[in-house]
Structure 1
Amino acid sequence: MQGQISLAPAGGSLPAPRKIAIFRALQLGDMLCVVPALRALRAAAPRAHVTLIGMPWATSFAKRYSAYVDELLVFPGHPGFPEQAANLGAFPHFLSEVQRRRFDLALQLHGSGGLSNALLSLFNAERQAGHYVPGQYCPDADRFRPWQEEEHEVLRFVRLMEFLGMPAQGTQLEFPLGDADFRALQRSHADLPAPGTYVCVHPGARLPSRRWIPERFAEVADRLAGQGLRVVLTGSPDEAAVVAAVQRSMRMPSLDLSGKTELGALAALIASARLVVSNDTGISHVAAAVATPSVIVSCGSDSVRWAPLDHDRHHVLSAPVACRPCMHLECPIGHLCATAVSADAVAAAAARILAQHPTGALS
């Protein structure tokens, strides 16, 4: 019933937590994948104050998803957590602040728990929940679910909420957009193409080992331009070089918006596109969240874990290499996961998706 939340899978209810901490100090794509779980949490505990413990950039995430998250408490990093450099000088104050808040419930949504479960135990929350690897440290057998490596990233956290007695509220991603996002998009360039007349090509990824070949992105972009679609190249400021490499290799004109759009404007751009062609990176999850069809080349990442759940609207191409998933910055053995995916295969997938969804996000 409303106001009660079951946190003991064997049965029984405890009063709904009033103060909940969520630990997930990760990048954009990882955060988008947990939104369905946050939606289930909010439905089960509508009056709770939810604090996200995350990376500094996630201030904007907490603001955008204010329906599910009330505030961000910045995690300063810690040795062993590779997502950000550890600010050890700030860690004692951070830990003191977490403990001072006396959370009723701390949810470990950061990963398998190999490192994060021990950290979570330092928070001194009344209750803890999350995942653990069988055979490794498990803070509470009743509230920690066994980690399954092959499980889809969205589904694993929805199932964790169900395990804790919080019914699922759907598995779809979402990216709330407002008028300010579309105004910011309009300010990014004087001659933006009209909605539905362009494709977004995103050749970057945080790790070079996760990037498909720029010349093949260019070949696919040229074919799409040949079908009458304008090509918009996107990327972060750090990805300007790879975007420029794609543009130099193209025969057809393209619009380079890399580094020119903040996240909200970029999502607005994607929401109005016919199609997105990208690596398996955060932009692929943005496309899924705004329902824009996409073709994703998965180089090095675990495509089973990260592929969009809607296989009709989103198509993932990957090569079956034994070294996947890869955490190398640069591939040391020839980058077969990228070279084995041809431009013909990606262009053919794009043609199929465009035919099936002739009006992009609206179809």
Structure 2
Amino acid sequence: MFLLLLSLCWGCGVSDSLKLLSEWSNVRNVLVMRLDNIGDVIMTSPALRAIKENLPACRLTLMASPSGAHAALLLPWIDEVFSWQALWQDLGSLDFNPQREWQLIQTLRDRHFDAAIIFTSFSQSPHPPAFLCYLAGISLRLGESKQYGNGVLTTEAPAAPDQVHQVERNLRLIEAVGFQVRDRSLSIQFDPDVEQTALQLLARHSIVDRPYILLNPWTSCQSRNYDSLRFAIAAKQLAQQTGMPIVVTGILKDRDRAQSLLTTLEPHAIDLIGSTTLPQLAALIASAQLVLTNNTSTMHIADATRTPSVIMFAGTEYESQWRPRHNLSHLLRHPTACSPCYAFSCPYQLECLDIPPEDVVAAGLDLLASVQQRA
């Protein structure tokens, strides 16, 4: 069965696949590239875990975007993080500076990597980062491609269908060179002192050993944001019906748009906006009875911690690409003809997120009831 799996590698027979497996079994210094946001990096966790299980002596360096690099604090399989704003993923903020790119090549060359594994989404090409790795002298370069790269990748895994879940896309990539995968679920870890610090944040608001609902109502993309006032109305109704306070989280810049939400939630809101690190946020999510959020990194953290979640899932993507797979969850979305649009800003009125607060409340109560039944 294992040989059959290997024989599926594009352009190789069984003997070639065994050769690839032999080459990869000898690597010790591996560069893993995932140059998107926090949630995208968290979704590499099953693949990172599998790499370490197959190559326990290897050193894993994650090359990530400045924002995505924060996720490494939750992924114990990573030995080092290399943060970089990649030119080929930039949205126009970087200036034209060839010297910066040559410096990146030299930096990678100086680290003497044996291999590079390039994780991408269905819409991204692995060839720009693969060419970078080629110039840096990295001899093994693995990526999934819809186009023929003329040798820039030493192994071009066959492209998965666009609607395949991102976790499976990542795992298919490493399976293409013979890595065995024991566990395909998301996983994160944080230190006990992080959990203690998170509990201390709650204790300052007189929440000790008391169940709570966590509300993370914003994302970095306007097109994925459920109306915050509707979120507040739904959360307040859940607080009134369950007796649980609402712990509101977000990054510091979210505070500029938080006042009306917090006012609506009074007196049930516990304001922790901008007060947590990413590991502390993960610890709070892990301890929550229920999470209310959008399609963002919080959704993936809740999946990894198995926390029940109501997700306002915009029509920007197919649900099959990103949805939670291992926690109890309800994804709410209004069908629209423009989905999936993959847009950062909605040119219309966010009709895909035109969900009444009552539907959010009903979904939350259903999940809480399911947890009680299981208990």
Q: TM-score range by the shorter chain?
A: 0.7 to 0.9
Q: Work out the CA distance in 2 between the residues paired with 1:37 and 1:83.
A: 30
Matches within 5 A, 1:149-228: 149-188=162-201, 190-195=204-209, 197-226=211-240, 227-228=242-243
Q: Work out the CA distance in 1 between the residues paired with 2:291 and 2:229.
A: 17
Task: Report the equivalent of 1:307.
Answer: 323
Change (3 A) 1:57 1:350: same
Change (3 A) 1:194 1:188: closer
Task: Report the equivalent of 1:71.
Answer: 80
Letter in 1 for 2:320: V
Q: Over residues 227-249 of structure 1, what are the superposed CA-to-partner deviations in whole Å (9 max), with x where a residue is unaligned?
A: 21111111111212333232223
Q: Over residues 144-183 of structure 1, what are the superposed CA-to-partner deviations in whole Å (9 max), with x where a residue is unaligned?
A: 2214211101111112222221111212211212122123
Q: Over residues 73-124 of structure 1, what are the superposed CA-to-partner deviations in whole Å (9 max), with x where a residue is unaligned?
A: 2223215533974684532211111123342211110334744313212212
Q: Out of 278, 288, 307, which is 1:292 matched to?
A: 307
Q: What's the RMSD between the two structures over aligned residues?
A: 2.7
Letter in 2 for 1:69: I
The answer as to 2:241 corresponding to 1:233 is no
Q: Work out the CA distance in 2 between the residues paired with 1:265 and 1:87.
A: 38
Q: Work out the CA distance in 2 between the residues paired with 1:140 and 1:58.
A: 24
Q: Work out the CA distance in 2 between the residues paired with 1:294 and 1:233.
A: 14
The answer as to 2:333 corresponding to 1:345 is no
Change (3 A) 1:150 1:217: same
Change (3 A) 1:51 1:238: same
TM-score normalised by length of structure 1: 0.88
Q: Work out the CA distance in 2 between the residues paired with 1:229 and 1:162.
A: 44
1:24 is displaced (CA, Å) by: 0.7
Q: Out of 4, 19, 29, which is 1:19 matched to?
A: 29
**1:122 partner SS:** helix
Among the aligned pairs, what percent are the same residue?
25
Q: Over residues 174-229 of structure 1, what are the superposed CA-to-partner deviations in whole Å (9 max), with x where a residue is unaligned?
A: 12121221233244351252345110011111012210011211121111111211
Q: Over residues 59-81 of structure 1, what are the superposed CA-to-partner deviations in whole Å (9 max), with x where a residue is unaligned?
A: 54334423x21111222321553
Change (3 A) 1:44 1:177: same
Q: Out of 50, 60, 73, which is 1:50 matched to?
A: 60
Q: Out of 30, 33, 36, which is 2:43 matched to?
A: 33
Change (3 A) 1:114 1:301: closer
Q: Work out the CA distance in 2 between the residues paired with 1:71 and 1:7.
A: 33
Change (3 A) 1:83 1:195: farther
Change (3 A) 1:136 1:76: same
Change (3 A) 1:22 1:84: farther
Q: Over residues 120-151 of structure 1, what are the superposed CA-to-partner deviations in whole Å (9 max), with x where a residue is unaligned?
A: 12212211111111467774485422142111
The answer as to 2:273 corresponding to 1:258 is yes
Q: Work out the CA distance in 1 between the residues paired with 2:101 and 2:85.
A: 6
Corresponding pairs, count:
353
**1:345 partner SS:** helix
Structure 2 segments unaligned to the other structure (5+ residues): 1-5
Q: Work out the CA distance in 1 between the residues paired with 2:125 and 2:141.
A: 15
Q: Out of 114, 117, 121, which is 1:107 matched to?
A: 117
Letter in 2 for 1:322: A
Structure 1 window deviating more from structure 2 (208-217 vs 185-194): it is 185-194
Q: Work out the CA distance in 1 between the residues paired with 2:263 and 2:344.
A: 24
Q: Work out the CA distance in 1 between the residues paired with 2:41 and 2:53.
A: 18
Letter in 1 for 2:189: P
**1:180 partner SS:** helix
Q: Over residues 32-80 of structure 1, what are the superposed CA-to-partner deviations in whole Å (9 max), with x where a residue is unaligned?
A: 11100111111111111111111234554334423x2111122232155
Q: Work out the CA distance in 2 between the residues paired with 1:131 and 1:308.
A: 23
Matches within 5 A, 1:322-333: 322-333=337-348
The structure carrying a bigger helix percent of its residues is 2
Structure 1 segments unaligned to the other structure (5+ residues): 1-5
Letter in 2 for 1:343: P
